[in-house]
Every structure is written in structure tokens, then in C-alpha cells.
Chains A and B, each alone.
Chain A
Amino acid sequence: MSNITMRLAGALFGAVALSAMPAMAEDLVLGASVQLTGPVANTGRYYKDAYEFTIDKINEAGGVKVGDKQYKLALKLYDNQSDVNLSVRQYTQLISQDKVNLLLGPFASNFALADSAVSEKYQVPMVQGGGASDQIFSRKFKYIFGTLAPASNYFGSTIAMMKELDPAPKSVALLYADDAFDVSVADGTRPLLKDAGITVALDERYTSNASDFNSLLSQIKSANVDAVLVAGHETEILNFVRQAKSLAVAPKLYSFTVGVPSEDFRKALGKDADYAFGMSAWLPSADLKDKYFGDAAAFAEAYKAKFGYEPDYHAASGAADVEALVQAVEAAGTLDPKAVRDAIAKLNFDSLYGKIAFAENGQIDLAQTVIQVQDGKVAAVYGAKGFLEKPKYPMPAWNAR
């Protein structure tokens, strides 16, 4: 037999063997590209873990019922190495080659901003829980949905709280990194500060991944502001706090968009993390009921038991994304991406993350609870109904702690 006929015979045999396999429950494949390595791997892992955890849980409960067919959820996950360009290629590959049914999101606004162009182009809905920048939702895209609260309002509850503090901070320094999310935060924060009658004494944008904040901190000290609001990334906030200590810069209050809810961040800073304010749209409360996990407290406990670290709002948001897709598919009764998209737009259900219902632009609206590190633990201090717990304010000087 010639070489070619051998191969033909082999291929034929393979095809026969495949078609003779017993029929199994079909897979409903969700595709995602997440930062498993690279500079933002630290937060990226929340999404990988949350996606897998939720998918396993839903499969244990019998999977997804679409029309009268039962599907098993599967995840096709790529590591985008914290590289935006790579993540765009991977989403294109997920749709055009891997033929996944629906998309889950990456972490971070700049990624979601770029990747949502892919979902829009191929008209496959993406529910993402990692990008909060208002820019993502201002382009009238129809296939992108987001479960993080809008970036522009991250400091909303903090500023509301500041007005009720005694003595109320009169001047602030606003620092933000130069990326989609943090610029949106700053743009949204300025009018809120103005309405609250708080002076912005210093308004500075800095380079993402900056590690040296000594000059900015010296300016903050020199301007003698009452409060410092920083929108940035965890590594930057870590450096900021450490350097604030070493330069003895202690405003009455400082608050950060990231870091405070994350266990790893608090561990890295140890006692120096105390007094830092932050915000979270999610707290693991038993009041948040969930179809698959029971409630948010049970979710947090099971998550910690499985992965060895506490979930924060990133993880809860990722879990909610999987649930949103599943609920939408079940409501649509078909896997057709356009029908599922319309079903997502109509969703309204309670989850471990809160109520999932998307506004016209595709973004969810959740209130941010102000949180603070108190004795190494996160305390919820201010919510929609006012103070929940007494904030530790004002922050004492570093040598008086």
C-alpha cells in the first residue's frame, strides 16, 4: 500500500471510530481570555477561579436546559499574558476557530474595551465582570454587558460619607493612572467633589505601573490636603502606601479604588494597611440569595475552601457573569447568539452578587459600599443608608499608630 492510501485508511478508520462513540450531553461552550500570567495575573486569577467554580456548580446541579435539550457547560479559557493585543486575537480565535457559543470577559477596562469590539463584530454576546470604565458602554455596542458598577461612580459613596464625617475633609488630592478605567473614575469624581463643595488641591495623572510616588507624596504633603483619593492598580497602591509611611504623609483619610477588598493586598502591607478606605459593590452577605450557591456567604466560604483565598467583588462579578449567560440561554430557549443577546438585555434575577439587570447601555448599576481596613480586617463602614460601622477617622500620624 502506498503512503497516501495508508493515511486515507487511517483517517477513514478514525472517522468511523468517532461516529460510533455513544452520544453524550452536548457542551455549551463559554469562551474567555483572562490574565493568568503577566503583571495583572494577581487579579486575573479571580476570574479564572470564579468561572470554573460556577461552571462546575451549575453542572453539578444538572447543567443548562435549553428548550428540551440538556447541555453541560464547558469553558474554553486562554491566558492573554496581560497583553491586550493578544487577548483581542484570542477572542477572535474563540469565535472563529473554537466556535464557542458565548463569551465571558477578561479582567480590566482596557481589555474589555478592546475585546468588546470583537464580540460586537461577530455578534456574539459577552458578559464581562472585569471592566467598569464608562467608555466601554458609551459606544452603543449591543453585544457587551458589564457587571461591575460604573467607574465614574466608584468614589460616589466615599464622597457622600466624607460630607458626614467630623471634621469633614475640605480639600482632596485626586491621583489616577492613565488607563481607561482610572481616567473614567477621575472624570466621574471631579463633578461629585464639586457638588460636595470639596476643593481639589491636586489633580494628577500618573503612568500606569509607576513604582515611585515620592514626588507626588511630597506634593500632597506640601499642599496639606485632608483627603487623598487614588484610582490605580494594586501594585501602585502598595507602593503608594509604603512610601506614604516612609515620608510620614498621613492625610485624614485616603481611599483607593483597588486593593482594600483583596486579601493579598492586606497581607502584603500587614499593619500598614489599616485605616485605608476603599469600596466594594459586593460583600459576602447571607442576604444575597443565589439559585446555585444558596447565598453569597455560602459562596464565599466554598470559594475560600477550594482556592485558599477569599473572593472579592471581582470573583463575585465573574460568577454572576456565568449565571447571567446561563439564565439568558434558558430564557431564550436557544443557543442562537442574537436571541441570547436579547434575553440578556431582559434579565432580572437575584444572584450572589446582587440583582442582575442591565441598563440600556449594557451596564449594571450597583451601589458601592465604603469599606475600610480596621485591624487587618475589612469593615463595611458606609452604605446607601448611612454609616454601617464607625469609620476610623481621622487617620493618626504614622508614628502615632
Chain B
Amino acid sequence: MDLLAQILINGVLLGGLYAVMALGLALVWGVLNIVNLAHGAFIMLGGYLSWHLYTYLGIDPFLGLPITAVVMFCLGYALQRGVLNLVVRAPMFNTLLITFGLEVVLTYLAQLAFSADFRTINPSYAGSSIALGPVVVPVARLMAFGVAVALTVGMWLFLLHSRLGRAIRATAQNLVAARLYGVEPRHLYAMTFGIGIGLAGAAGGLYGTVSQIDPYIGATLTAKSFAIAIIGGLDNPLGVLVGGLVLGIIESLTVLYVGATFGDVASFGVLVLVLIFRPSGLLGKTA
């Protein structure tokens, strides 16, 4: 029983981390209709940025998250204005190609710049834990979970209530009508992509604190984020949180009851089931 409780806690905390990784991907996908295959590479860059802030400037990884997010936002904004806007209305295949290309370029630039060495962001509390009876809650994961929930709810409120958020949703729903109301799509797309990349950067900082960073972590993180975004649905950031939690819990339980090689089978199996039975995601509107 204790073991099950522990596994469920593990799954929930893992799910929070998953959600924050997928948040930016889902936003960009939902609004721009770009499946950003470079998303994991941006998480990786965010991780390196946080690592540098922590290692050379002594900035705590959690306090450094806003800095990482802002820098990554600027990078995302510039990339969208300079590169991706050229293909935003092209067929899906072109956007896949260009983001895949970006992924490759970013990964190899990262190896050139940072070498293939492993990096960990390791503040003193990274390994500490709180004991709740027989169950242990890792502090860094709990904090990461808190950040995930805060970011998700923040995103949700932002999209629902702010002017920019409404403009983003309007553009996603009906571009022509949004333009008639004075939305400037190029700026708006770049803002959206910037926010998506900023979120990826923040996720990278969290990831580096609980796991490790090297130039090649991106591809698997993209795949994971992709699955979570589909499971949760693209309409609503809360859906991504639910998707992350569902995936985290299912993976943890699978490892316990079936075997450690079946974690991915379970998560991508759920992906297939969701695509069959609820194609717009668990919280998405049914057609």
C-alpha cells in the first residue's frame, strides 16, 4: 500500500514536469498550426541557460526561470519573425521540415558550444525530500510541480482574460475575422511562438534540476510533449496539465505492475486510444 501511494506521488510529480514541457508545444500547435519538432531542442537550450546562470552567476534555478523564459521568448520571437513566418501558411509538411531542420541545427550547435558533457543543475535542495509517513516527496520535483501548475493556470487565465490572449485565441479560431478586428498576425504569431519557446525554456530549467542536460535530450522530450499535447488537447492549457498527469501516473503504474520496459508502450498506447476515442483530446470539445 505504501508502495502504491509512493508510486502515485511519483506519477503526479512526473506528470507536472511533463505538463510544463508540453505547454509551449500545445500552444504553438493550437494557434499557429505548427508542430514544432524543435520544441525539445528549445527545452535543452533553456536547460543550458539555467545551468549557466546557476553555475557561473550563482542564480538559483527556480529564481532564474523568469530570466531563462524571457531570453528564450526573445529567441522564439526572432525565429518566428525571421524564419517561421515564411512558412506559417505553407502546407504542414513544410513546417515539419523547417522545425526538424531547426532541431538538427540547434542540437549540433549545442554540442559545438557546450560539448557532449553531461550537466546537472544541482542546488543543495535538489536531492532533499520531505517524509510524509512512509511516503517520500522529493522537494525539487514538488517545486517543479508547483511551477507547472502555476504556469498552466497562468496561461489559462492569460488566454481567457487578457487582450493579447484573446487576440491569440481569436487568430487561432478565425484568422480573417481576427484581422478585420485589427489583429496584426505577424506580430501575434511571433508573440505566440515566443511564449511557447519561453515556456520550453522554463521547462528546461526545471528538467536540468531534476534530471540531466546534454545536447541530445531534445528528441525524446519532443516526442513526449507531442503525446501529452494530443492526450490533453490543444484548446486549453488545463488539458495539457491533465494530459501530463494522466501520462505520468500511467507510466509509473506500468513500471510497477507490468515492467520497466513497458512505460513507453503504455504512454504511446494511451496516445493511440485517445486518438481513436477522443480525437480532440481528453478535455477537448467532441466533434
What residues of chain A have their CB less than 8 Å away from a CB belonging to chain B?
37-39, 41-42, 45, 82, 175, 178, 204-207, 209-212, 214-216, 218-219, 221-222, 234-235, 238-239, 242-243, 245-248, 264-265, 267-270, 272, 398-399
Complex CA gap A222/B255 in Å reads 14
Complex CA gap A215/B262 in Å reads 12
Complex CA gap A207/B256 in Å reads 14
Nearest-Cβ distance from residue B245 to partner chain A, whole angstroms? 14
* Residues B224-275 near A (CB distance < 8 A): 251-252, 255-256, 259-261, 263-264
Nearest-Cβ distance from residue B215 to partner chain A, whole angstroms? 8
In chain A, what residue has the closest Cβ to B112?
A37
**CB of B283 closer than 8 Å to a CB of A:** no
Complex CA gap A175/B214 in Å reads 23
11 further A-B contacts with Cβ under 8 Å, apart from A37-B116, A267-B117, are A39-B214, A41-B111, A41-B216, A204-B259, A206-B260, A209-B220, A214-B252, A222-B6, A242-B212, A246-B140, A269-B120
Contact partners of A221 in chain B: CB under 8 A: 6, 136
* Interface contact B2-A222, CB-CB below 8 Å: yes
Partner of A222, one of B3, B11, B117: B3
* Interface contact B139-A246, CB-CB below 8 Å: yes
* Interface contact A248-B129, CB-CB below 8 Å: yes
Nearest-Cβ distance from residue A382 to partner chain B, whole angstroms? 27
**CB of B148 closer than 8 Å to a CB of A:** no
In chain B, what residue has the closest Cβ to A265?
B118
* Interface contact B261-A178, CB-CB below 8 Å: yes
Residues A218 and B260 in contact in the complex (CB < 8 Å), given A42-B117, A212-B251, A247-B129: no
Complex CA gap A41/B116 in Å reads 6
Nearest-Cβ distance from residue A35 to partner chain B, whole angstroms? 9
Chain B 120-146 near chain A by CB (<8 Å), digits 1 or 0: 101000111101000010111100000
* Selected A-B contacts with CB under 8 Å, 14 pairs: A37-B108, A37-B116, A39-B214, A41-B216, A178-B261, A214-B10, A214-B13, A215-B11, A215-B252, A238-B120, A242-B127, A245-B127, A248-B129, A272-B127
Contact partners of A398 in chain B: CB under 8 A: 127
Contact partners of A178 in chain B: CB under 8 A: 261
* Residues B1-27 near A (CB distance < 8 A): 2-3, 6-7, 10-11, 13-14
Contact partners of B211 in chain A: CB under 8 A: 211, 239, 242
Partner of B118, one of A42, A175, A211, A219: A42
* Interface contact A215-B7, CB-CB below 8 Å: yes
**Highest count of chain A CB atoms <10 Å: which of B117, B126, B259:** B117
Counting from the closest, the 9 A-B pairs by CB-CB distance are: A245-B127, A246-B138, A206-B260, A215-B255, A214-B10, A41-B116, A268-B118, A222-B3, A42-B116
In chain B, what residue has the closest Cβ to A247?
B136
Contact partners of B139 in chain A: CB under 8 A: 246
* Interface contact A242-B216, CB-CB below 8 Å: no
Contact partners of A38 in chain B: CB under 8 A: 216
* Interface contact B10-A218, CB-CB below 8 Å: yes
**CB of B119 closer than 8 Å to a CB of A:** yes
**CB of B210 closer than 8 Å to a CB of A:** yes
Contact partners of B261 in chain A: CB under 8 A: 178, 205-207
Contact partners of A234 in chain B: CB under 8 A: 118
Complex CA gap A248/B260 in Å reads 20
Contact partners of B136 in chain A: CB under 8 A: 221, 247-248
* Interface contact A205-B6, CB-CB below 8 Å: no
* Residues B36-55 near A (CB distance < 8 A): none
Contact partners of B220 in chain A: CB under 8 A: 209, 211
Nearest-Cβ distance from residue B133 to partner chain A, whole angstroms? 13
In chain B, what residue has the closest Cβ to A239?
B211
* Interface contact B214-A207, CB-CB below 8 Å: no
Nearest-Cβ distance from residue A185 to partner chain B, whole angstroms? 16
* Interface contact B259-A205, CB-CB below 8 Å: yes
Nearest-Cβ distance from residue B70 to partner chain A, whole angstroms? 27
Complex CA gap A257/B268 in Å reads 30
**Highest count of chain B CB atoms <10 Å: which of A45, A211, A234, A264:** A211
